[in-house]
Structure formats: structure tokens, C-alpha cells
Amino acid sequence: MPSSGNVGNTMKQTRDEEIVMVTSRASGGKSSYVSRLRRAFLLHVHPDRFRNHNETVRKQQATLVQALSDRMAEHDFLTYSASSSSKSGASISIHNHPRKKLTSDSYPFWVEGKDGTISKLSIQLDSTDPHQILSQMAKSINFPQPPPSPIASPLSESIPFDLMRFNQSATDRDGRSAGGGFGWRCHEHKSPSSINRDLLHFLKHTDFDHIRQRKLSRIHATAAALVARRAFAFSAIDGTGLGWSSSSLAICLSRLTSLHEEHSAKLLVRSFYPFRLLLSSDEFHQRIDTFSGILRLNPAATSLQWLGTLALVTDDSVLRLKGNRSELERNVLEVEDALGIRPIKGHSCEPEEYHICLGRLASEIRRDNRNSPMGKSELTPSNGNAALVIESALDCRRGELRTDGNFVVGAGTDLRGIRKTIGEYASRSIEYARIDEEKRTACLILAERIMREFGVLKVNRIGHGVTSDDMLQCMYSLLGKDVTERDELRGYLTGQSIGIARRGHLCHLGDDGSIVIPTNCS
């Protein structure tokens, strides 16, 4: 039984270590609806949201969370979710465990309203109709009711371009024939490690109870992060860079919430907004960064050490952060107006270096306007989606063009150098951006096909190193399997999430319970 003190993993909601390639494009799909409703409902009733109430309330909430998780993992629920993804007349065999007997027919629970008051409700989990259970869940949290039938997505009705030409271009690049229907194929020979890249073999030897536990741990952790964020009024909490397990990170967040409950009177501010909390074990010079708005805590530190860092935040710190952000916004608008392209911070550029760079560019623009008034740069590319990426001066010595059509310059580049870079790569930027957009659209279309074909909830891109070409190769490989293997895969993948990782990885489970496969899976 889950409890408020034993919760799983959390991540900052606005940024995931997994970059979602496709969410539920088919908004009417049952599998996507069930996933969204399950997450929303569990976050509303999670026991961590009722820490200020008595033990009886928290125990009822924990009992409901466990019972609902078990109920939604049963065969009839998975079949209900998969019914919108299977083809007409196709039989679905869900590989799952026998149904567990519920300890009760009706489960009471509490829901918190917008005004802070709580209301007691109940839900019948012994119903044999999943639609009825979902309707009760949706009604209790004011969520849209379940869809009566699947609704086709506009992306699946027509394909605006030929997807196969991406396959052909990759074939030409690799110097081998794609052959057959979908073109992308894995190597025919069996290497010693090929069995570890065999998706079907991996699924046959996977404990699906472990997957369900990881999914539930992620829900627990998200609730723990929500409670901690509300307690300190952080704009967000980010623990994605730790690489910790769900339970370890959630315990860390529970410690943070307990610290606020016991020592909030020792803090110099009641609200840390707009600071963002970053949990990181890396070495850092500044715990409080008024340029990026990041407050850093080492998860290995003691609670009293955390308190010492949190007590360093004052009203002056908040005012400096707001002032720096206002100045940055003004400088960004000036640079964008002069160049016709919006600057953004690169990964290697420090926040302070980025602020100084834009301040210097804005000063150059104002000086040029005084000496010789001029409008936007005549070298502005017609690609409205292009961006000017500012990287560290040590990592970027000269301007260049990325494959996505964005311009890259170092933080030490002056206004003249930036205009020279834009003028040199303007025409190529338009072509690169067009190709990149077509590949992204192709990924969306194929990901939606996989969601329908295999009944999966979503398809994720795991990490920055996975390119659109890698995504296309992996998804073509899945869709190109024979009918028998696709049917068998559908039985295992229905109701799950897929993550696509870089070549060289092995099939494994993600921390959120998703099934992670390499781009060269077999």
C-alpha cells in the first residue's frame, strides 16, 4: 500500500529528461484518454496532498490509489484501452496476470476543491464496465467524460508528402538497399548481443508488475514534487539530472517538505517565486543564481545544510532576479527587432554570460541607430522559425549553421559578426529548416501509426542524441514486421509507452515504466 512517506520519482513538469516526441495526437483515442485521466485523478487524490489532515484521510487515499492502480491493470481495462487502436476485426491478446480480488466494492476518498475545502466521495471499482469506472473518476475531478468511440486524427487521413523518400535518402547515405515494404531494416546477421536488442524477446521476459510499480512510483513522485513546490512557492522543481531511482528522489522531496513544516519560521521569505529549485550533485560556485533564477541544493546534504542555503534567499534576491529578467526581456526584444531573429541561450552558455552578451549587443544596436538609423537587417532570413543560439565563447569560435536551420554564434561575437553569419547561411537555413520540419512531421505521422497499430500511449524521444532520422529508422522497423509478430507485440505493448534511445543501448525499462528500445532494435 503506498503511503505519503513512501513515494516515487519526480521531475519538473515543464522539462522532462524524456523529450516527448508525440503525445496523444488522436485526442479521442481511448488509450490516451485513460492515461491522461489516470494521471490527473491520482494526482488529485494522492495522500501527499492531504498531509495536513488526519491519518484516517491519508490512509483512505492510499488505499484508493493502490486499489485503482491494480484495477486499471486488469485485462478488461487493457482491452478497453486497446479497442481504439486495433484494426477492425483484429483480435487482441493482452499478456497480463489474472485479476486480483478487490478488498472492497466501494472505496471512499476525498477531493480538494479550489477553495481548499475537501469533499468526501466514493467510487465503485468492482464494476465490470471500465467505461463506468472512468466516468466516475472523470466526474469527481471535473474531467471530460470518456469518448464514446475513437476519433481519427487529421494526420492519419492524408500524408502531405512521401515518407519513403526519407528512407531512400538514408539508404543512399548508408550505401545499402532498404528493400521491401517499409525499407528500414536491421542487420540480418545475429551478433552475440542481438538478443539484447530483440524487443519481442525482451517483452517475453519482462515482469509487467514491475512496469506497473514504476508507473505508480512516477505518479507518487509527481505528487511529492507538487507538495514541495507549493510549500516553498518555487516556480518548478527539477531533479532530472540526478539519475536517481524513483523512490530515492521522492524520499528526498519528502525531506524537503518536512523541512518546511518544521523550520519555515527561520526562512527570510515566504515565497521563493520566481526561483526554480534544482537538485544536483554537481559542483557549483553559486547556490543562488539571480540571472537564471536557479536555487541549487545538493541532495546528499543534511536538512540543516539545506536550511542554511534556503535562508540565504532574501527579498533583495527576489528583486534582483526580477530586475535581471526584465532587463533581459528588453534586450531580447531589441536584438530581435534589429536582426529579425530571436536569440536563445545555448546549453554551453552560462546565464550570466548570456545576460552580458545580450546587454552588449543591445548597446551596439542603440549606438548604431544613433549614428545611422536603420530598420531590421537586410540579411534577415525569411525562415520565421529560425533562432540565434548563443553558445559559450569558449565552445563556439565562429558562427555556424545547425541542421535544424538555427544560427549558432559565440557569446563574444559582436553585432557585425552576427550579421555576417546570418548573411552567409541565410539561404541554407531556409532549406535546412524545411527538411527538418518535414522529418518532424514524418515522425509525428509514424508515431501515431504505432500508437494505433500497437495500442501504445505515446512515443518518446529519449535524450538529445536521438535524431529524426533515428526515430524514422526505428519506427519503420517496428511497422515493417510481419503480421504475426506485430500481433504478438501488440499483446505486450498495449497500454504501455515506448521510448526510443540512441543506437548502442539495449532494450530496458525506463524509470517511468516506459519500454525503452534502441534505434537499431530487432
Q: Residue 308: its pLDDT value, please?
A: 95
Count of other CB atoms within 10 angstroms of residue 46: 24
Tens-digit pLDDT profile for residues 44-69: 999 988 888 888 998 999 999 989 98
The answer, yes or no, to whether residue 124 has pLDDT greater than 70, is yes
Identity at 483, one-letter amino acid code = V
- Res. 333: pLDDT tops 80: yes
Which residues neighbour 226 within 8 Å (Cβ) at sequence distance 6 or greater? 43, 48, 49
Position 192 pLDDT exceeds 80: no
d(CA 389, CA 351): 13
User: Bridge partners of 387?
Assistant: 342
How many whole angstroms separate alpha carbon 493 and alpha carbon 112? 35
Does the pLDDT of residue 338 top 60, yes or no?
yes
CB-based burial label for 103 (10 Å; 0-12, 13-18, 19+): exposed
CB 266 within 8 A of CB 304: no
Cα–Cα distance, 172 to 302 (Å, whole number)? 57
Average pLDDT of the residues in 414-435 = 92
Query: What's the grid cell of residue 474?
Result: 526505428
Q: Spell out the residues 6+ positions from residue 353 whose beta carbon is closer than 8 angstroms to its own.
A: 392, 393, 411
Q: Tell me: the pLDDT tens digits for 69-110?
A: 888 888 788 778 766 544 433 444 555 544 555 656 789 999
> Around Cβ 456, how many Cβ atoms within 10 Å?
27
pLDDT (0 to 100) of residue 150: 47
Dist. CA 414–CA 412, nearest whole Å: 6
Between 422 and 77, residue with greater pLDDT: 422
The answer to whether the beta carbons of residues 80 and 36 sit under 8 Å apart is no
> What is residue 7's predicted lDDT score, i.e. its pLDDT?
36
Question: Among residues 228, 85, 208, 54, which one has the least CA distance to residue 147?
Answer: 85
Half-sphere exposure of 503 (CA within 13 A, CB side): 11
Q: Judge contact between 278 and 260, C-beta under 8 A.
A: no
Residue 18 predicted with pLDDT over 80:
no
Give residue 289's pLDDT.
Answer: 94
Cβ-contact 462, 167 below 8 angstroms:
no
**Cβ contacts of 371 within 8 Å, gap of 6 or more:** none
The C-alpha angle with vertex 126 and arms to 120 and 132, in degrees rounded to 5, equals: 75
* Whole-angstrom distance, CA of residue 8 vs CA of residue 25: 28
Residue 143, CA distances (Å) to 33, 38, 39, 136, 140 in order: 10, 11, 11, 10, 8
Q: CA-to-CA distance for 323 and 250, rounded, in angstroms? A: 33
27-31, 59-63, 78-82, 133-137: segment of lowest average pLDDT: 27-31
In 3D space, the residue among 142, 136, 2 whose CA is nearest the CA of residue 62 turns out to be 2
* Distance set, CA 201 to CA 71, 374, 506, 520 (Å): 27, 65, 12, 15
Q: Which of 45-49, 83-87, 124-128, 316-320 has the highest mean pLDDT?
A: 316-320
- Look-up of cell digits 546534504: 301
Q: Is 25 in contact with 153 (CB distance < 8 Å)?
A: yes
Q: Which of 22-26, 49-53, 248-252, 299-303 has the lowest mean pLDDT?
A: 22-26
Strands (E), 272-406: 276-279, 288-289, 294-297, 342-345, 387-391, 400-401
Contact 106, 71 (CB under 8 A): no
CA 372 to chain centre: 47
pLDDT tens-place string over residues 258-287: 999 999 999 999 999 999 999 998 887 789
Euclidean distance between CA atoms 252 and 261, whole angstroms: 15
Q: Is the pTM of this model over 0.85?
A: no
87 burial level (CB within 10 Å; 0-12, 13-18, 19+)? exposed
Query: pLDDT tens, 484-497?
Result: 999 999 889 988 89
pLDDT band at 246 (very low <50, low <70, confident <90, very high): confident
What's residue 112's pLDDT?
A: 87
Query: Which helix or strand (DSSP H or E) is residue 172 part of?
Result: helix 164-174
Average pLDDT over residues 118-143: 90
CB contact at 8 A, 275 and 295: yes
Average pLDDT over residues 191-213: 81
- Confidence grade of residue 381 (pLDDT, cut at 50, 70, 90): low
Mean pLDDT for 387-402 is: 93
- Give the rounded percent of residues in the chain with a pLDDT score beyond 70: 79
The whole-angstrom separation of Cα 418 and Cα 406 is 13
515: left (phi over 0), alpha (psi -120 to 50) or beta: beta
Q: For residue 312, what is the DSSP state?
A: T
